Chain A
Amino acid sequence: MNLIRDWGKNLYPCPEQQVLSPPKTKGEPMKINRWSRVVLELALAGIFLYSGLQKQLHPDEFVKAVMAYKILPSELVGLTAATLPAAEGAAGLLLALGYKKRSCLLLLVLLVCVFLIAMLITMLRGLNIDCGCSLFLSRQVGWVAFMEDSLLLVLAGGLYCQEFFERHG
C-alpha cells in the first residue's frame, strides 16, 4: 500500500483536470488542478505554522505588539496574545496534515480578517507601530503589510471555496 498515494487519493478524490477548468454550474468558482491546490494549501499552512511558532517562541514581544495597537483593554491583551499564535499554528498544522481542511481554512480567513481590521484601525489612527505579523523581518503597519495579508485572505478564501464546491458543489 502506498501511503502517500492513498493519502492523496482520500483527500483529493477528484479526477485530474486542466490547470484551470471552467465552472460547470453558475456561481461555482473555476477549479484548479489538484496538485496546484495541494501546493497552495501546503504553502499557506507553512506560512501560518511558522508564524505561530515564531510568536510562541517570542511571547513577550507579541504581547507588546498587541498592546501597541491600543485596541483591546489590558485584560484581553494577555488572552489574545496567548490564543492567536496557538490558533495560527494549530490551523497551519492541521491544514498541512489534511485534517479538517475547510475548518482550518475558515479559521485562517477569520484570523486574517481580524488582523486586517486591526491594521486598518491603526492606520486610520496614524500609529506607526510594528505589525507583530512579520515572518522574517519586522514590518510596520501600513499598506504593504495590509496588501500582503489581503493576499493571504484571498488565498485562504479561494482555497476554502475550492474545497467547498469540490465536496458539495
Chain B
Amino acid sequence: MTFRVIWQDLTGAGLILALAAIFGLWHHWPSVKASFRGQSALAAYLEEARNQRRETVYKGIPTVSLSQVHELFQRQKALFIDARPTAEYAELHISGAINLPPDHQEKELPNGLAGTPQGQRIVVYCSQVSCEASLKVAQKLRSLGYTQVVVFLDGFRVWDEAGYPVSLD
C-alpha cells in the first residue's frame, strides 16, 4: 500500500517533470539546439544573446577599446572607475581607479567622484567582457547626470595582460 502510494506520487512527479520539459524545450529551443551542436556553438549563441540583451538594456552607453582607454590613461583625460567587488579592487586595479560596485548603497559618492564635474570623461570597467557590473555602474552614473561615461568592456583582465599600470592602493 505504502509503496503503491509512493509509486503513484512518483508517477505524478514524473508527469509534471515531463510536461515541464516539453514546455522548456519549446520555449528555449534555440539554446537547446545550440547545445546539441557542441560547446562552441552554445558559447557563440550565449554571446550573441548577451550582446542583444545589452543593446536593449544598456542602450546608448558607448564602449571603448583597450587602445582608446590606454590613450585616455596616458593623457590623464579620464577618471577611472572600477566596478568590481571591493575585495577584487583591493587586490589589484588600474592605477588611480576609484572603486564603485553596482550595489553601492551609501548615499554619498566615493571620494574622488564626489564633486567631479558632470562633463568629466569617466571610464568604467570590471573584470572581463562577460561582466556587466561596468554597464550597470555606467547606467547609474548617467542617471546622476554624468554625460561623458564610457565603458571599457574588455575589463581589467585585458588591461593587466597588456602590462599597463596597475596598483594596490
A residues in contact (CB < 8 Å) with B: 56, 59-60, 63-64, 67, 74-79, 81-87, 89-91, 94, 100, 102-104, 106-107, 110, 160, 164, 167-168
Contact = CB atoms under 8 A, between A and B. Distances in A.
A75 B31 contact: no
Given A79-B25, A90-B19, 7 more contacts: A60-B46, A78-B28, A78-B34, A79-B32, A82-B21, A86-B27, A90-B20
Contacts of B16: 87, 90-91, 94, 100, 103-104, 107
A78 B12 contact: no
Interface string B1-30: 110011001111101110111011101100
B53 interface: yes
Contacts of A164: 5-6, 9
B79 interface: no
A76 B34 CA distance: 11
A78 B21 contact: no
B22 to A, nearest CB: 9
Contacts of A91: 16, 20
A77 B24 CA distance: 13
- Tell me the dominant secondary structure on chain A's binding face: helix
Contacts of B53: 60
Contact of B9 (A60, A83, A106): A106
B116 interface: no
Contacts, number: 102
Contacts of B140: none
Nearest to B130: A64
B49 interface: yes
B13 A67 contact: no
A110 B39 CA distance: 27
A145 to B, nearest CB: 17
**Most B C-beta atoms less than 10 A away, residue of A63, A85, A94:** A63
B13 A60 contact: no
B38 interface: yes
A107 B16 CA distance: 8
Contacts of A110: 13
Contacts of A76: 35
A168 B2 contact: yes
30 contacts: A59-B27, A60-B31, A60-B53, A63-B35, A74-B35, A74-B42, A77-B42, A78-B33, A78-B34, A79-B21, A79-B32, A81-B35, A82-B28, A82-B31, A82-B32, A83-B25, A86-B23, A86-B27, A87-B16, A90-B16, A90-B19, A90-B20, A100-B12, A102-B12, A103-B15, A106-B10, A110-B13, A164-B5, A164-B6, A164-B9
B40 to A, nearest CB: 9
Contact of A78 (B15, B19, B36, B50): B36
Contacts of A81: 28, 31, 35
